[in-house]
Amino acid sequence: MTRAGPGGIREAARADGRAVTGPGGREAARPDGRGAVRAHDLSAGGGVLERVHATARTAARLYGLPGAEVTLINVSENATFRVDDPRTGLRAVLRVHRLGYHSTAAIRSELAWLEALREEAGVRTPRVLRAPDGSRVLTVPGEPPRECVLFEFLPGAEPPQDRLVEGFERLGAITARMHRHARSWRRPAGFTRFHWDHDAALGAESRWGHWRDGPGMDAEALAVLGRLAEELRGRLRRFGRDAGRYGLIHADLRPANLLVTGDGPPSVIDFDDCGFGWYLYDLAAALSFIEHRPEVPEMIDSWLRGYRTVLGLPAGDEAEAWTFVMFRRLLLVAWIGSHAGVETAAELGAGYTRGTCELAERYLAGAFTRSGRTRR
């Protein structure tokens, strides 16, 4: 999740560069007892943003753009900068990776799929601009060294908020085209991406920290969300991971990661979270942070309608749409708790946890029907 939204990032309170603590001063502990989840280092304070900005300027120089202006766009999972070179007129987007999230091989794998989608499936994605030595991933020396990738700058803007219902039909169709490509694509040797299954998201691994360390957790919230977590675990286990339901996905295909220009097809950006997961997780990710809005049932119907223009979707899969919405929602509670420096997380805070409890009560009571409509 790279595009944090308009707020970008703030410095967290910790200035010693060590692990960011969760609510009440707790470290984000692993539920399996294996110690703390690796901190989101870009939330660590202690001048980390200045150091990352210096890394970005060094990267621009190593890319052969010594006089370029390097401007921070936002920070979420990684730091994203706009690079403007007055000598060549080039405008590009530079991603400086956080520590400990992806290996170099995993980043190369992401870029391989991004390029294959553009060349083989007609999905518009940003081109990767290679370093002078031809590499797609540039390692910038330092303490610690960081991986960087330079992308072409694509025109466009995020889809308008007042037309999301109509826009979700187009989003469903483009998502299905990506899934169709993923199912038949022959992945290159060494391809590796992580999984977004239950263990990785909410279980033993808890990649973004544990939902119990989300903001505003009290006894009532822990009880409600504990029941939700248990229900999700059982439903996802029964749903299974066969090839028709689980494969390579974008995993963050929400409006913030689309660029639209006029009436043409949108460009798809930010593949940093792409990996292996349930195809319906891409629907849930599209609703990130807005799951409570009254038009969401219509947005789900619209997305499914668009998806079915490209790929069939069994009724049994559609029936679990809200299971995946709630799965993502609970994962985002964990994300907010573990990303103390991201302004989006700070703005949502405990209110997002309270809203999740309200949605969980309705979901557990059977209020959401298979079409996405709600029973009143």
Q: Where residue 35 falls among pLDDT bands split at 50, 70, 90?
A: very low
Question: How confident is the model over 94-109, as pLDDT tens digits?
Answer: 999 999 999 999 999 9
pLDDT averaged over every residue in the chain: 88
Identify the CATH class of 23-152.
alpha beta
Least confident piece of the model among 23-27, 205-209, 322-326, 339-343: 23-27
Question: How confident is the model over 123-174, as pLDDT tens digits?
Answer: 999 999 999 999 999 999 998 999 999 999 999 999 988 889 999 999 999 9
260: β partners: 157
Domain boundaries, the chain: 23-152, 161-364
> Which CATH architecture group holds 161-364?
Alpha-Beta Complex (3.90)
74: β partners: 80
Q: Where residue 45 falls among pLDDT bands split at 50, 70, 90?
A: confident
Task: Output the pLDDT for position 21.
Answer: 32
Q: Where residue 6 falls among pLDDT bands split at 50, 70, 90?
A: very low
Q: In sequence order, what are the residues at sequence separation of 6 or more whose Cβ sits closer than 8 angstroms to the Cβ of residue 230? A: none
